[in-house]
Structure 1
């Protein structure tokens, strides 16, 4: 007499299991559709009162660039290339253009003022989806506190956007203000293509503080442009100070390939840099490498991700060293596909 009841219980249990499995599968299928869009951050140059005496003209740009570098340490963030973000500094409708043209989901803005040995630094983080200010803070301290305030801003922004707790990010160790000012001017001149003046200022910055990793990297880049053999020594010094410097790693890999022609090692270095840091210089060269090696699908995927990082200048560059690749060497490379390195093409590609 108990059999029908037992059978009913078994059937009911089975039905419940089927419903539960279907629910889980349904959520799994729908998850990509409801998952939040990847965080893409634009960091604008910080405003800087022109009436502030003795303040370097590039201080606001330098603070913004440093914060952007620090935020790249968070794996879930895409931080737009400095040149792309800075191009919109004077736009009236900057927020809509950042979202529409660069695909930014968040923007960091701020203001820096130095006077009478004191520095005031203010910053805010805005969600470009609804233009809600998610975080803002005003900091003040002695000039020597500038770098601690800069890192505090980067850390607060990262922690606001990451839901898993504390985030340890840093734009690098502090340096002397005179060395920092010379370095900012050198970087601006390098961006403008004035290699001679940029080199002189980078050398001056290092004379004031020889332990600045970025200054060694920048001087290595400038020496490379002039085909000077000291380039590799400065890149090596940059990495001895900061082994995690993605720009220095990218330049080290490039100079190493030019010296020894080891394509497999170069490919491995580039894919590691791109997978871990989304370094735009490494990604440009990787896209080039894929294209010249006859891997058009990988080249397109890499170029799509490059457009996400640097929509205004996102063309593969630095291709000249690859134009005469040995076909046997190309075949010997254990190629990783662009999807393995980067994931699928980003939305809107």
Structure 2
């Protein structure tokens, strides 16, 4: 109505555009519109139409900064002047309570005088808070300029320092012609961002001096506290550089003033700089000598102690000695200590050099235990896996009741020998006794491995027996904290594995956890137990994650802390954090197939197929006779490359080796899906009959009749498809009633109803399934993969449509050269 040309930005939100969301959009946009600054693009109008939000803003005649710098760096002085102005603009917004959260070259516009103008203030926050789907795509789409705390989805940690990082990342791009981090894929970029430091800008562009490089890298510190305290502080340091004044990014002594002082005092500078260089060289020689004398410690594995007692029953006692030493060392954050699950596989004499390679540790602790009457003999030896040399050894002849004192002495000696930094809290934790009752400790040691392997090798009766053992231990020592924590885990496992899915079972777990907190309120073990309880028992992800964060402070080497954190990150759509936590869990527990499978799954969801395959290969090395894992590895190639040949080869190899026909269940499923994808309806008809009636390994529970219906529909036999879906519905309805809290099973019922043409029922069941599922999980993008779109007959009606073919092409694997 004002006859002016404006820029229009539309954000398509689809079915996420709920009333609260639209109100939030307007509120955020109106807040951003309140900013009145010559370098902030003003917003004129905000509105909604057809499920999309839009806003009109001033049209800046010029172009985006990324277009200007796409092919070469900007002149250095021009870049610094521009970023100093951007930083002051960001500071103005911060002073008015608004963060940008998405500073990147594409959001910096240049007018015809090359003056910068910032756009999209505050809108990144809207996207992150209100739409997990959109937020996830945003994170995966432009990670090169994101701060680490933003890339892992930690919205609570975002503050002014997050925008300082973004400004620094743009400065890095302008100076070097490259973003700070850029991998071949989105996942690789995020991994570089989280795990590595940016390359020195001077290596990209030798014209950049040390001071400017320092300013740039200070902005890109991983720890927000180490960045500039404000965008204004950054702007002022850039302006100091422009005026050839000493910057404040580091201590401005003789060395740091260096070049600035030389410009003002060229004659007197030489002697001082030469002296500093000589001192630095001498320090380097001393440091390197120390490094050679004491090579870097990369971690330690406490191997099972050998039982030399006459009674075989005392093997549990030897395991208890090893376990307590491991737990004490694992309290030290400065050490990497391999989990018990991985080291127990090395019982007996082994090649320590090979163990070091597999577990990626520099040292192992070996030992023997002889228990005779009331006497105890323990021999412990620390070995460097790189040289096979023993670097510490000690023998202990004591009374049996001194066993926990010996374990503390061993742990402290190891920490000292490895020069680990041990805090006062960690030292106190190492000195704690698990219990004062050796019989109670023996009962605990017998119960723990049964619970650890629940769901793999543990049967229901063994798990119930473990509960009984722990109850006996607690009866002997009511202050036995570890026993309470593992008792809670046992009860939660009985609930989670559906042995006894009752409120009474959860209350037993809760009672044990409360007892643990009564004994020691700040116990990491108790916080871990509570986290698992809230996760398995109530799907209370936020509370569980908070408990895990607390547990991590005192259990820095406990892989379960990272494993369960990754599971929750996965369910809440924080994919980079999920991968990062699962990688850490696998570092601490590298021979745990559960953890490696979880790692592979997270790689799969972020489409890091190569890394997924490598993780699956590690599982196969641990479980070479597991046909299911081999078939999953082969099926990965279908999702990744739409290549069915590896699956065909794997089936043939497994079938040829399986002379006893023990792998038929796994093979039948693979044969069916291969035939279905290859549209071999004859084989699909034959193999679908061998599928289980109910697939209880799947949370949804699809069974034989459902797949029969899909095959019939693929063949065009509507009557047979309808009949099969009718049967499938009866089975699925039974499964849904058995687990009324399962959104997945109800969603499966809705999908079957869709196949039956019962549209209203399908929509109703789908909505109920979403309500049963934690809100954040219901929004996680779980799109199909390239191979699914290429091969699955379900998509045949869309083939040939240019829009569909464009989507397929966009997911095709990128060839590396």
Q: 2:527 aligns with which of 231, 249, 253?
A: 249
Task: Please say if residues 292 and 322 of structure 1, whose CA atoms lie closer than 8 Å, have aligned partners that are also in contact.
Answer: no
Distance 1:52 1:261, change over 3 A: closer
Secondary structure in 1 matching 2:582? helix
1:296 matched residue in structure 2: 575
Distance 1:7 1:114, change over 3 A: closer
Task: Please say if residues 263 and 329 of structure 1, whose CA atoms lie closer than 8 Å, have aligned partners that are also in contact.
Answer: no
Task: Please say if residues 367 and 381 of structure 2, whose CA atoms lie closer than 8 Å, have aligned partners that are also in contact.
Answer: yes
**TM-score normalised per structure 1:** 0.78
CA distance in 2, matches of 1:38, 1:244: 29
- Structure 1 residue 201: Cα displacement: 1.0
1:269 matched residue in structure 2: 547
Task: Please say if residues 247 and 281 of structure 1, whose CA atoms lie closer than 8 Å, have aligned partners that are also in contact.
Answer: no
Q: 1:141 aligns with which of 392, 398, 415?
A: 398
Q: 1:131 aligns with which of 376, 380, 388?
A: 388
CA distance in 2, matches of 1:269, 1:21: 49
- Structure 1 residue 259: Cα displacement: 6.1
**TM-score normalised per structure 2:** 0.35
- Structure 1 residue 160: Cα displacement: 1.6
Secondary structure in 1 matching 2:304? coil
- Structure 1 residue 240: Cα displacement: 2.5
Identify unmatched segments of 5+ residues in structure 2.
Answer: 1-263, 496-504, 603-698, 700-741, 745-772, 781-817
Secondary structure in 2 matching 1:301? helix
CA distance in 2, matches of 1:205, 1:50: 23
**2:521 corresponds to 1:219:** no
Distance 1:13 1:256, change over 3 A: same
Distance 1:322 1:220, change over 3 A: farther
Which structure is higher in helix share?
2
1:327 matched residue in structure 2: 776
CA distance in 2, matches of 1:111, 1:91: 11
2:557 matched residue in structure 1: 278
1:234 matched residue in structure 2: 512
CA distance in 1, matches of 2:524, 2:432: 12
Task: Please say if residues 66 and 171 of structure 1, whose CA atoms lie closer than 8 Å, have aligned partners that are also in contact.
Answer: no
Q: 2:300 aligns with which of 7, 28, 41?
A: 41
- Structure 1 residue 269: Cα displacement: 2.7
Secondary structure in 1 matching 2:268? helix
CA distance in 1, matches of 2:400, 2:265: 79
1:170 matched residue in structure 2: 431
**2:380 corresponds to 1:119:** no
- Structure 1 residue 65: Cα displacement: 0.8
- Structure 1 residue 290: Cα displacement: 2.0
**2:442 corresponds to 1:181:** yes
Q: Which moved more, 1:124-133 or 1:63-72?
A: 124-133
**Deviations 1:155-195 (Å, cap 9, x if unpaired)?**
21112212668955235344212111111111233345220
Larger relative contact order (C-alpha < 8 A, sep ≥ 6)? 1
Distance 1:275 1:98, change over 3 A: farther
Distance 1:150 1:322, change over 3 A: farther
Q: Which moved more, 1:296-305 or 1:11-20?
A: 11-20
Secondary structure in 2 matching 1:110? strand
- Structure 1 residue 198: Cα displacement: 0.9
1:157 matched residue in structure 2: 414
Distance 1:65 1:243, change over 3 A: farther
2:473 matched residue in structure 1: 205
Q: 1:83 aligns with which of 313, 338, 341?
A: 341
**Higher Rg:** 2
Task: Please say if residues 257 and 263 of structure 1, whose CA atoms lie closer than 8 Å, have aligned partners that are also in contact.
Answer: yes
Task: Please say if residues 289 and 322 of structure 1, whose CA atoms lie closer than 8 Å, have aligned partners that are also in contact.
Answer: no
**2:387 corresponds to 1:109:** no
Distance 1:272 1:18, change over 3 A: same
1:99 matched residue in structure 2: 356
Q: Which moved more, 1:301-310 or 1:273-282?
A: 273-282
- Structure 1 residue 56: Cα displacement: 2.9
Distance 1:233 1:157, change over 3 A: same
- Structure 1 residue 260: Cα displacement: 6.3
Q: Which moved more, 1:256-265 or 1:63-72?
A: 256-265
